[in-house]
């Protein structure tokens, strides 16, 4: 099953980074957010990705085309120019790096991938959020209800700590970034049937508006509730928090990502 990653937007709310690189390539733990998201799917055995590119598409393409070179150890004979990788990343991903247009909206980007999706069930998510969502359970739920779309819902962490205090000013409790009470939001991590593409009119279609709203009106969208970890990357504070989680080994998805960063070793004589 293919997974569509929406990785073509301008990322204007994260302009501290996105003047130079596309938002999904902002690094967490030294590797792009997009790589982390792909590692989540790969952990569950899903290694075929369609990257819907747009803004600075060349940056994303260059990263993956040169991935092995950048993340491998080499023996290089400077006299002959021959080289041999002695330790390379153990990644088995298959990627479609598709430029879906600079100004195309989220729905339009998925529509442009129609011919690549081969009239099959597919998954899709945004290129700026990580989670410990159980992809196997998500797919099982999708198969159980027969609707066109499954949307994963999550509760975002509050932006600020919650403080309770007495009238005299004595603080009774403080909770840093608790989950907001009962508000669930669209967390991405969709499963979609090819029939949903008929709800997308063209490049100007914003996925979260007309296409999904129409599908909801026709009773074709089901909610998969995820009560675990989910974190989008919308601000510099989010980037800092995600990197802090990673550095402190508090990132719930970290072990899955480390699976993708393991290396295949091929040691031997010092020759090429």
Question: For each of the chain's 272 residues, which pLDDT tens digit applies?
Answer: 999 999 999 998 899 899 999 999 999 999 999 999 999 999 999 999 999 999 999 999 999 999 888 888 888 888 888 888 777 777 889 999 999 999 999 999 999 999 999 999 999 999 999 999 999 999 999 999 999 999 999 988 766 566 676 777 656 666 665 555 557 899 999 999 999 999 999 999 999 999 999 999 999 999 999 999 999 999 999 999 999 999 999 999 998 888 877 655 554 555 55
CA distance 7 to 126: 7
Positions of E strands within 13-170: 27-28, 31-32, 48-53, 73-76, 83-89, 94-99, 122-126, 129-131, 149-154, 162-165
- 56 φ/ψ sector (left φ>0, alpha ψ -120 to 50, else beta): left
For residue 124, the model assigns a pLDDT of: 98
Structure tokens at 242: 């995600």
pLDDT at 270: 52
pLDDT at 89: 72
Q: Is-contact 34 25, C-beta < 8 A?
A: yes
pTM of the entire structure? 0.87
pLDDT at 55: 96
How many angstroms separate the CA atoms of 53 and 187, rounded?
Answer: 20
């Amino acid at each position: 099953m293919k997974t569509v990653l929406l990785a073509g937007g301008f990322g204007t709310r994260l302009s501290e980074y996105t003047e130079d690189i596309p938002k999904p390539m902002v690094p967490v733990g030294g590797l792009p957010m997009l790589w982390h998201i792909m590692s989540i799917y790969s952990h569950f055995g899903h290694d075929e990705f369609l990257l819907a590119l747009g803004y600075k598409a060349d940056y994303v393409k260059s990263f993956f085309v040169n991935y092995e070179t950048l993340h491998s150890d080499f023996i290089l004979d400077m006299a002959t120019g021959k080289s041999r990788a002695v330790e390379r990343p153990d990644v088995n991903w298959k990627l479609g790096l598709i430029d879906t247009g600079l100004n195309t909206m989220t729905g339009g980007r998925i529509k442009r991938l129609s011919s690549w999706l081969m009239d099959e069930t597919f998954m899709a998510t945004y290129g700026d959020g990580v989670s410990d969502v159980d992809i196997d359970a998500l797919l099982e739920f999708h198969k159980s209800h027969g609707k066109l779309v499954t949307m994963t819902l999550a509760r975002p962490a509050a932006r600020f700590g919650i403080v309770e205090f007495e009238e005299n000013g004595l603080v009774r409790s403080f909770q840093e970034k608790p989950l907001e009470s009962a508000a669930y939001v669209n967390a991405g991590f969709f499963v979609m049937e090819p029939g949903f593409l008929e709800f997308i009119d063209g490049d100007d279609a914003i996925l979260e508006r007309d296409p999904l709203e129409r599908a909801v009106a026709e009773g074709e969208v089901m909610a998969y509730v995820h009560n675990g970890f989910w974190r989008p990357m919308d601000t510099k504070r989010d980037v800092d928090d995600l990197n802090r989680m990673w550095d402190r080994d508090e990132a719930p998805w970290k072990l899955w990502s480390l699976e993708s960063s393991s290396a295949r070793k091929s040691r031997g004589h010092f020759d090429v």
